Structure 1
């Protein structure tokens, strides 16, 4: 028996909650997965899994073996990564999932630098705004925006997304420009809904005198994609509260106008996340370290609060522009 292979197959069966899913993920015949698990149980002399036609669960022995096997496999992978190719030449596949906006506007434009550093790491980037299940979908690491209520996840903070409230000039011509939160009673908003909230919409929130205030707004359109959200604001469907890095070019082009700047929403945290019971691989740590350095270059991704005129269209990558000492370090200044 190949004990390491048996451990590997067993952990996948448990993580994916099924023999068929594990076989598909590992590229093995389904009969082979069944044979390997049966051989492992015979070798150990105990039942690891309770299985019926509809369910799969761990026995007490299975739970103990699963936890130990996870640690052993993580250590083996770490040793192989360090000593087979050396720390200077990490290799292998890395599956990372992230919000579409972060992937398209921040990560992808800088990927050439990552591959220059680590040419033998094969990245698989998933980009969507839904909250995925890391274990079920075989993802090594995800980037997530907002609080992380799931205690089964381990997170490393990457930065904070500055946000603002804005609308199109055409919308403001029609409904007027709100000067205070009490004026919002006569306004409508583009709603952003999420399956994570049971398809409910996120409320509009503001900070007044250091206190967060939620204001419910209704409107004719609700979306679940961040880029569509900004586009609906440009089209005049209502007020929106996007991340500043997503709306900056539209604001500077005059397609959106900031309102209520004195009540800007609190920045949203963004984190790199992986399962608590899975030791992050050397590749994951390298990728997360690189993303941290990428975010540190951009004031829009660190929750800094400056007037819009302080930022250039290149503020996300911070390339080719200088900082103005009058407005503070790291703030990219709009030319002219």
Structure 2
């Protein structure tokens, strides 16, 4: 008896509700279906089904066998798919979710290189700061800031960040710059509103210091907060990846550099069972280049 085949037949009987319908679904004879189920019962030495000419129901052992068989057959299907994909050209639809800012500033501008390298891949990307469930919502790869702590997922660190205080050159020329975080109380400051919590994000500094300076301006949209800071509305504190381009161009200047605190790491997450899939590995490698 091939145990996997017998389990497939057994699951088909449970799902169709009849031996004859299972036989029709599988393209085999009803007698073959009966023989496979009988062989399973003999092998396990338990009764899996209560059967009469008019009805069929699972025993307690049968229910447990069905649930375990579904997981076993799904794992075998994933194994076969992953081993095949590992030796194949990267192709198929790749579903990705990432924060909007990461998509706009880093991933989207580099996509032409990825698409040219992998013509067999179709990308469906969602830019959202919502905490999605990668497994339940069917994403292949998710990019997130911070530790997710999900044992089902493989985490590939991409980019460490830091908290950077900055302002426009014009603002510094007019108002000066604070020498220590405590002096921020005497400057116009710009705050970020945490969308889900609805409260101001506390400013982080080295050695675990936390300080929330007074402010007249707050946004729940990072891009708008950056633009206000560039326009000279005040001093803001941002994750380094949010203002890297502005700092390089000189549109913003860093302040309190010696007090900078480490921020969350940008991480790529994907399911363990997909880690050898060619399309997933191709995108993870691409991300490694983007954030090198």
What TM-score do the two structures reach when normalised by structure 2?
0.69
Compute the displacement of 1:109 (Å): 2.0
Aligned twin of 2:178 = 178
Compute the displacement of 1:191 (Å): 1.5
- Contact 2:143–2:268 (CA under 8 A) maintained in structure 1: yes
Compute the displacement of 1:63 (Å): 5.4
Unmatched 5+ residue regions in structure 1? 11-34, 47-58, 297-336
Q: 1:1-336 residue pairs with structure 2 within 5 A?
A: 38-39=15-16, 64-82=68-86, 86-87=87-88, 89-169=89-169, 171-172=171-172, 176-187=176-187, 188-195=189-196, 198-207=197-206, 211-275=207-271, 278-280=273-275, 281-296=277-292
Are the structure 2 counterparts of residues 40 and 96 from structure 1 closer, same or farther at C-alpha, using a change threshold of 3 Å?
farther
Alignment partners' CA distance in 1, 2:228 and 2:144: 23
- Contact 1:190–1:232 (CA under 8 A) maintained in structure 2: no
- Contact 1:212–1:266 (CA under 8 A) maintained in structure 2: no
Are the structure 2 counterparts of residues 71 and 258 from structure 1 closer, same or farther at C-alpha, using a change threshold of 3 Å?
same
Aligned twin of 2:53 = none
CA deviations 1:240-271 (Å, max 9, x no partner) are: 22233432443355542221011122143111
- Contact 2:82–2:274 (CA under 8 A) maintained in structure 1: no
Question: 3-state SS of the aligned residue for 1:189?
Answer: strand
Compute the displacement of 1:148 (Å): 2.4
Question: 3-state SS of the aligned residue for 1:90?
Answer: coil
Are the structure 2 counterparts of residues 236 and 70 from structure 1 closer, same or farther at C-alpha, using a change threshold of 3 Å?
farther
Which structure has more relative contact order (CA 8 Å, sep 6+)? It is 2
Question: 3-state SS of the aligned residue for 1:164?
Answer: strand
Compute the displacement of 1:78 (Å): 1.7
Are the structure 2 counterparts of residues 36 and 167 from structure 1 closer, same or farther at C-alpha, using a change threshold of 3 Å?
farther
Alignment partners' CA distance in 2, 1:293 and 1:239: 32
Are the structure 2 counterparts of residues 235 and 285 from structure 1 closer, same or farther at C-alpha, using a change threshold of 3 Å?
same
Between the two proteins, the alignment pairs up a number of residues equal to: 244
* Structure number, greater radius of gyration: 2
Alignment partners' CA distance in 1, 2:105 and 2:142: 16
Of Structure 1 and Structure 2, which has the larger fraction of its residues in helix? Answer: 2
Alpha carbon RMSD of aligned pairs, Å?
A: 3.5
Are the structure 2 counterparts of residues 190 and 293 from structure 1 closer, same or farther at C-alpha, using a change threshold of 3 Å?
same
Question: 3-state SS of the aligned residue for 1:242?
Answer: strand
Question: 3-state SS of the aligned residue for 2:114?
Answer: helix
Compute the displacement of 1:95 (Å): 0.4
Are the structure 2 counterparts of residues 249 and 80 from structure 1 closer, same or farther at C-alpha, using a change threshold of 3 Å?
closer
What TM-score do the two structures reach when normalised by structure 1?
0.61
Aligned twin of 1:24 = none
Question: 3-state SS of the aligned residue for 2:119?
Answer: coil
Are the structure 2 counterparts of residues 191 and 238 from structure 1 closer, same or farther at C-alpha, using a change threshold of 3 Å?
farther
Compute the displacement of 1:124 (Å): 1.0
Question: 3-state SS of the aligned residue for 1:139?
Answer: coil
Compute the displacement of 1:61 (Å): 5.5
Compute the displacement of 1:205 (Å): 0.6
Are the structure 2 counterparts of residues 79 and 144 from structure 1 closer, same or farther at C-alpha, using a change threshold of 3 Å?
same
Compute the displacement of 1:273 (Å): 0.7
Are the structure 2 counterparts of residues 235 and 62 from structure 1 closer, same or farther at C-alpha, using a change threshold of 3 Å?
farther
Alignment partners' CA distance in 2, 1:171 and 1:39: 72
Alignment partners' CA distance in 2, 1:92 and 1:133: 21
CA deviations 1:47-83 (Å, max 9, x no partner) are: xxxxxxxxxxxx865653454344223213224424x
